[in-house]
Amino acid sequence: MSSISAIFFDLDGTLVDSSIGIHNGFTYTFDQLGVSSPSAKTIRGFMGPPLETSFASCLPAEQIEEAIQLYRSYYKEKGVYEAQLFPHIKDLLVELAEHYPLYITTTKNTPTAVDMTSNFGIDHFFDGIYGSSPQALHKADVIRQALETHHLTPEKVVIIGDTKFDMIGAQETGIKKLAVTWGFGEEKDLMDYNPDWIAHHPTDILQHLQLKR
């Protein structure tokens, strides 16, 4: 993979196990709205797509904006602290940052992503942290923003992510795909999008990048 000039990381489910905080944020939101919360399995499926998409699947249109604000309020106050780095991630970032510029491309909103990486003391590894916004709602939009801002050639960029949404975003923008299996996505779903590489452990990423033998 010597042709790689930059690495994009997904955040939730790839670098950070944020499942507890996300689950609690959704259940809090539905409780505040006075509606029944979906099943835990359904909520797990919300870990990846934009909030707008997730709430639109189970709430009327007129409640979506309120739901997003409730969720973000909970997450900023509590959810961000209910997460933890996956094992060996910091070691992985130390190694990769010596060889490549690193960026985060996430469907979390940017301020939350910045706060989370700062809380974990990993923000300094990244040359840019890009999250969703009304102008960049989906993963492909966020990826394009990072590519354009840093004048990166798509064919020389790889995204490391754990869900089909990362793979779809990569397909739509022409960047390479490295799927990881320790996050929120199902391996069979990831394989449907023909990732260029698949990693079952952070050290597998170093092997794919030919930084470890």
What are the pLDDT tens digits along the chain (213 aa)?
558 999 999 999 999 999 999 999 999 999 999 999 999 999 999 988 889 999 999 999 999 999 999 999 999 999 989 999 999 999 999 999 999 999 999 999 999 999 999 999 999 999 999 999 888 889 999 999 999 999 999 999 999 999 999 999 999 999 999 999 999 999 999 999 999 999 999 999 999 988 764
Same domain as 199, residue 154? yes
The answer as to whether 61 is a domain residue is yes
Same domain as 120, residue 78? no
* Domain CATH for 27: 1.10.150.240
The answer as to whether 1 is a domain residue is no
Full domain range(s) for residue 177? 6-17+83-208
Other beta carbons within 10 Å of 73? 15
Please state whether beta strands 16-17 and 84-85 pair in parallel, antiparallel, or not at all (unpaired): antiparallel
Domain boundary among 66, 82, 98: 82
Token couple for 88: 């060996």
Pinpoint the alpha helices (H) of the chain. Answer: 19-33, 40-44, 51-56, 61-77, 89-97, 110-119, 139-149, 164-173, 187-191, 202-208
Domain boundary among 82, 106, 126: 82
The answer, as to whether pTM is greater than 0.75, is yes
Same domain as 139, residue 45? no
Same domain as 129, residue 69? no
Same domain as 142, residue 88? yes
Other beta carbons within 10 Å of 60? 9
Closest to 77 (Cα-Cα) out of 5, 3, 24? 24
What is the total count of domains within the chain? 2
